[in-house]
Amino acid sequence: MGIRKDITDVIELHKEIEETQREIIYKMGEIAESRSNETGNHVKRVAEYSKLLALLYGLDEKESDILFTASPMHDIGKVGVPDSILNKAGKLDENEYKMMKKHCVIGYNILKNSKREILKAAAIVAMQHHEKWDGSGYPRGLKEEEIHIYGRITAVADVFDALGSDRCYKKAWENEKIFELFRNEKAKHFDPKLVDLFFDNIDKFIEIKNKYKD
């Protein structure tokens, strides 16, 4: 009986440590977003969209949960970008845009040396969520399946949420305008399979959007 209780206690402690780790990661994602005056609900929605897409794509429950926890860290590198750029109401000039694009590498460098599976995934997401299917993205110009599936999924989730939300430089887009962009950017910005899954399950994405309104 004593051994069984000890095993149960160890399992419960392990679960508690995992939950604490997840909460810390999530809060770090919220901190990064708050610097550019974005709400915590942005990272909640991106996490939910990412897990949904991961499951629809065929990733197993464990991998989908890893991405759910890691995806809120996609913009952690913004901690290294000046407030004047993050919160600029108008269009960024060439030098400001170059600085903004550095957030991918900054985020990767923050996370890359961790031995934790979730933080390794978060490093991939931070580095690759602005890569594009046709190779025109940044920071490395990766294309198609050179981009990790975590990066491809988070790209869809992040853009869908960003376009549908108010930002300091723009008003939220209507759903139909967002859908038109996704149709046009299939196999350009986005993995075509993910775009098909997005449209085939659009009601589920809208449900998440409505559940976590700003």
Q: Which two tokens stand for residue 9?
A: 């206690």
Q: 207: which DSSP letter?
A: H
The reply to whether 213 belongs to the active site is: no
Task: Check: CB of residue 70 under 8 Å from CB of residue 25.
Answer: yes
Report which of 126, 153, 152, 121 is spatially closest to residue 139, judged by C-alpha positions.
126
Phi, psi angles (nearest 5°) of residue 143:
-140, 155
Catalytic residue among 5, 15, 27, 78: 78
Task: Indicate the helix (H) or strand (E) that contains 187.
Answer: none
The Cα 107–Cα 205 span in angstroms is: 27
The CA distance from 82 to 134, in Å, is: 30
CA 20 – CA 73 distance, rounded (Å): 16
| Residues tagged active-site | 78
